[in-house]
Amino acid sequence: ANTISNWEQEFEKWVEGKIQVYNLTSFSSDARFRTIGSWYRKGGVLLMTSQLYVHCVKNQNMRVVFLDPGPDLIVLDEAHTMVRGNSTKIAKALRDVRTKRRIALTGTPLQNNLMEYYHMVNWVRPNILGSERFFDDYFNKPIMAGMTSDSSPNNVQLQKEKTIELYKILSPFVHRRDSSALKKELRTMQQVVLVVRQTKLQTMLNRRFKRVYKSNSFLDIYSKIAPILNHPGCLIPASRQQKTRRIQQQQLNDGEQNGSNIEEILLDTSKGIGEKAEPGKCQLKSSDVGPSNSVHSGESGKSN
């Protein structure tokens, strides 16, 4: 959704209202098909997620709009995540598109995963690189074999030859751009690091967490302690859910022993959810909660 919003902002910035832009993610489910109909009749740009696209093409009435003949132009952002293989729902849907003009955008360098690159190219220009098996044997394996630190001189030489050959095939329609293309438009990146002292409540929770929770995994510890660092109030919903589950389980156990009706137990348990804390119970006050410990970095400009 954030990517879609970024695209919407970019269109507003560069075309200045000359093209009608529809952000499908901003409409309710009932209004989406009406929005699609308006876009199909009047033209413009329709922004949507891959999940929404898959959902829409399941509707037979939408197949004419999105698949056959489809839109005049279709653009995939982060294309390597959508057209990899033929097993995912989005890949299967895009495979049936009849639109001739296609653009695939990716920030993934060619050398990272040649098979992903093959699928992107094959979607834009079907069969120009041959079958998947042919590409793997003729390009992928020789190139990968010559890029390791212990590759033989013969493998390195073959890798260079295959890379040049592949580059010549792709150069007419694969356009690589780095940050220099936006150098004149964007100001120098500025980074700011803010160190913020923990509040008393954060310090107390942090110390207690270290005493009761032991783990050798940094990621595991970070995921558990993040709510404390972000805002101790984040712990309240999780605490309520755990308390509710304990009460329900206890009452279910009691019900089994006393022969009580389970449905009545569940209904009775739900009454206390969301009520105010009783006097004497621990509550968080706004004065106890302060800014989180975090490191922030920002840029004065951005691009998609």
Structure confidence at residue 240 as a pLDDT band (50, 70, 90):
low
Per-residue pLDDT of 111-150, as tens digits, reads: 568 888 888 888 889 889 999 899 999 999 999 888 888 8
Amino acid in position 159: Q
16-33 per-residue burial string, b: 16 or more CB within 10 A, e: under 16: eeeeebbbbbeeeeeebb
* Average pLDDT for 250-273: 44
- pLDDT for res 251: 58
- pLDDT for res 42: 86
Kindly give, in sequence order, each residue whose CB lies less than 8 Å from that of residue 52, ignoring residues fewer than 6 positions away.
24, 25, 32
